[in-house]
Amino acid sequence: MSTIGVEITAKEQIQPRVKITAYWVTTVLLAFVEGSGGIGELSHQWGTLDTVEIVGYPVYFLTIIGIWKVLGTLAILVPGFLRLKEWAYAGIFFGMSGAAASHAFVGDYGAYAYHIWSTVGLALLALASWALRPKSRKL
């Protein structure tokens, strides 16, 4: 009976570490992609002008979305501000799923539909980071 108790205790100790590690890996990856993407959109880096042209958005949209991406990145990384974190995750998810839909609706299937699949992947990464949050980062 004592070995069962020890086994359960070991699993309980390993599981939170794996979850916390998975949370930070997904969150840092998401923050890097969203933050650097936001900076690229704000500075109209290579590819961003082509992307808004493909989906038919005006160029000023890059400034708006770039600001929101940078602010959302800060919100998910900074401790506290739990309600703001919830909104930031929702914004990232809606932004990425909306980008995927925009590319799909205009028929942007070039290079094996890279823009569609990459934005769907980022939306899923946002969901994973949100779901793996420790209790200290939840409402």
83-99 pLDDT per residue, tens:
999 999 999 999 999 99
Question: Residues 19-39, buried b or exposed e (16+ Cβ, 10 A)?
Answer: eeeebeebbeebbebbbebbe
Q: What angle do CA 18, 24, 28 make, to 5 degrees?
A: 150
> What is d(CA 92, CA 121) in angstroms, rounded to the nearest whole number?
12
Residue spans of the domains in the chain: they are 2-137
Q: Does pLDDT of 14 surpass 80? A: no
Mean pLDDT value across residues 120-124: 98
What count of other Cβ atoms lies within 10 Å of the Cβ of residue 123? 19
pLDDT value of position 2: 54
pTM of the model: 0.86
SS3 139: coil
Q: What is the pLDDT of residues 20-48, one digit of tens each?
A: 999 999 999 999 999 999 999 999 998 89
